[in-house]
Structures are given as C-alpha cells and as structure tokens.
Amino acid sequence: DSTPLLQRQTQRESNARSYPRRIPLELKRAQGVYVEDSRGQVYIDCLAGAGTLALGHNHPVVVEAIQRTLASGIPLHTLDLSTPVKDAFVQTLFDLLPSEFAKDARIQFCGPTGADAVEAALKLSRTATGRHSVLAFHGAYHGMTLGTLSISGNLGPKSALGGLLSGVQFLPYPHEYRCPFGLSGEQSIDANLHYIRHLLSDPESGVTQPAAMILETVQGEGGVIPAPDRWLQGLRAITGEHGIPLILDEIQCGIGRTGDLFAFERSSITPDVITLSKAIGGGLPLSVVVYRGELDQWQPGAHAGTFRGNQLAMAAGDVTLRFIQREGITEHVRGVGARLQGVLQGLQAEFDWVGDVRGRGLMLGMEIVDPSRNDAAGRPVADGERARKLQRACLERGLIVELGGRHGATVRFLPPLIISEAEIEHVGQILYQAAQSVQG
C-alpha cells in the first residue's frame, strides 16, 4: 500500500481517536525526552504518554529490566497468580508507601488501565460501606468507562451516552484562578470546606450518606489544578468524621510527578484508598488500587479481569520506583519543575494572553485567555483557540505539549521526570518563539 502511513491510519482508525488529531506525527524512535518522526524530525516530548513515562522513553534501566525478565523464561501471562516478579514489585511499592498506611494495606491488581483502578475503588467502597452514592468534584477526570465518566466533570464525553451511575454528587474543587465562590486565597478554601460540611451535615441538603469521596490530589485533564494542603486536610477531617472512605486518584499526579512520590504526602494526610496507574508500570500497562485493610470486604472474585499479571509491566514498574527513590528524582523534579514554572511565569509577564500559571513539580499548566473579554467574575475568558494555535506552533518547532481544562485552554506540561535543566531551557526557547508567533 503506497498510501502514506498517517493517512492510512486516519482512514482506518475510529472517529474517537484523540491525540493523532492535534499531534499528527508518525513516530519512529524515541530516547529520553526526545521522539523522532519518520522524516527524522526530533521533538521534545512534554506529553510523555500522558504522564506515563516517568523515566522518559526507553530508559536503560527499564529496557534492561524488560529484557532480563523476558530472558528469565518467566510466564509472561499469569492472570493474577504469584510470581517472584510480582512479589518484588509489591514489596517495592509497599516500602515506598507511607508506613502508617502500608502496615495494614491491601493491593488489588486491576486491569490494566487507570479507569479500571478507579472502577475497582468505587466497587470496593460500595461493598465495604453498603452505601452507593459518591462525592466527586467539578473538573475531575477519572477515565472513559461508564462508571468513571459518571464521576468526571467534563460533560463533553458523556453527553451522548444517556444514563450513567446514579447518586453522584459533584462538589466544587478549589480553583484559585476561577474560584466557584468568586473568592480568593484562604477565604476560598474556607468557603469550600464550609459548603461540603454543610452538605454532609444538614438533613435538608438532600445528600445521602455516600460510599466514598473521590478526587485527584492534583487535577490533570481538568486543567492542572493542585488541591491546597489545608483543603485536603479539611477533607480528610470531614470524611473521617462522617466515616466516608477517601479515595485519592494519583494515576496522573503520583509516582514523583509533583515532586513528592505521592502527591498527597505534601499535605501530611493519609487517604483510605489510592488508585495508581500510568508511571507505576514504567511505561507498560499496569494499574492497582491500594487501600486500608479494613475496607477489604470483597468476596473472592469480586474484581476479576484477565490482564492483571503483566510481568513485564511489574518488572518495569519495580525498577522505575527504585530508580526514582535511589536517584533522588523527587528532589530533581522540584528543581527543574521550579525552573519550568519560571519559564511559564516569564511568558505570563510578557504576553497578556497568558492568564494563569499553576501546578506542582513537573505537572504544570498555563491557561490561555482572551484579555479583551471578562467573565461574570471579572476574569478574562479562557481562549481555547489561541491555545490550539500555540500547541501547533510548538509542534512545528519541535515541542509536544497537550491541552486540557475548560475549553481546552490550558497548555499542559508532563515531561519525563528525568528532564535536564538544559532540556528545560530548550523547552523555554521553543515556547517563547511559538508564543511570539501566535501574538497579534
């Protein structure tokens, strides 16, 4: 077939395909933070498998772990049977979880997408509490299955589907730049916590006792919005008082991404349930839910699935976790993350259409706005069109970034955690030239 590969795939792939539309690359090779297309063009990858590739593309320790595991002759498909590879992975993960949590925690292998871990967390909480409703948050993203869409904030992907899970109550996520209460700083956090307390305590609120509260410690797809520490501590207190399991979805923000191994560690809180995927498999498909032992009231087989024992993913995940720990990657992430945040703040100072810069570590976002139009709260409105132009201008200059948030107006940065300072400088140069090109 002489049809160019990109065109052929576009014809054959579903209309639901997403990334290839705005990143129409034919990829051939990758190493570290770089990917190369079939024309030999090289790009810095600040999408990195949607935050999956903590150690970048084809990191030697990951490649070596995969090759070693393959060469060992271990069965590659084991359902969820025991193997030494699985044992080592679980041991490494439990050693890295906060010890107070790990000492009586349980793990369920899921299969193997992030959405499946979230489904498992919801089923687990419903089973343990005997209740069924769920508290979720504005702007949340938890996956694309029917259950996870039910607790995701964005109406777009669910509007065509009709009935989803019943009993989902959406609560406001604290969003400094676009506070749903029109407040700022500490007042905004106080109002938010006050509102949630009220909903759960006032018999007239119409809210039934929920099976769980679920949130992302740092919202990703929703536009890179970190939960303030004091708010998380408040939620921990409220859920504790009401006996509501607190599920933290760390699928995107976990495993070193924010400069802490788990993003919740910064707030000194311990959740009841943690969902993990993406980087936990070192770039290969793997997801798990880890939870307090007392919630383990599942019947045998209550959450089954064929692909829960991928030995290569466990081996890759194991070495990834150990590398992050051994090489002080969280420290590195804080340093280079601050540098990238500085680059984005430089753009904000220069271009009036950069409305907000936010995030933590190497999970950063820059919201593009239209400075000539304000919303009811007096903030400039989000400008998805200019964000798309900027994304394209970056791609043309060799930089892959993703968009997210309301109207797709937030440019998102999820580079490999091993990105160097020199590579951050390079990202900054490309961004600056791209920004100049979309000015005016």
Q: Which residues are at the interface with ligand PMP (CB under 6 A)?
A: 50, 113-115, 118, 141-143, 216, 220-221, 249, 251-252, 277
Nearest to ligand PMP of 172, 398 (CB atom): 172
Cβ proximity to ligand PMP: between 273 and 434 the closer is 273
For residues 46 and 130, what is the distance between their CA atoms, to the nearest angstrom? 42
Closest separation between CB of residue 56 and ligand PMP, Å? Answer: 19
Q: Which two tokens stand for residue 258?
A: 């924010």
Q: Which residue, 152, 181, 176, 175, is CA-closest to 165?
A: 152
Q: How far are the Cα atoms of 60, 101, 280, 328, 364 from residue 334, in angstroms, in the given order?
A: 23, 24, 20, 10, 12
Taking the least distance from each CB to ligand PMP, the nearer of 151 and 329 is: 151
Query: Phi and psi (nearest 5°) for 86?
Result: -65, -40
Closest CB 19 distance from ligand PMP, rounded Å: 12
Given CA atoms 414, 416, 417, 419 in this order, what sign does their dihedral have?
negative
Q: Which residue has the tokens 């590969």?
A: 5
Q: Which is nearer to ligand PMP, 351 or 391 (CB)?
A: 391
Question: How far is C-alpha 318 from the geometric centre of its chain's CA atoms?
Answer: 20
For residue 118, which of 265, 281, 288 has the smallest C-alpha distance? 288
Give min distance, CB of 142 to ligand PMP, in A: 5
CB of 55 to ligand PMP, least distance (A): 18
- Minimum distance, C-beta of residue 107 to ligand PMP, in the bound complex (Å): 18
For tokens 């406001």, name the residue: 172
Residue nearest to ligand PMP (CB): 114
Choose between 143 and 416: whose C-beta lies nearer to ligand PMP: 143
Q: How near is the Cβ of 145 to ligand PMP at its closest, in Å?
A: 8
Nearer to ligand PMP, 124 or 251 (CB): 251
**Cis peptide bond N-terminal to 112, omega within 30:** yes
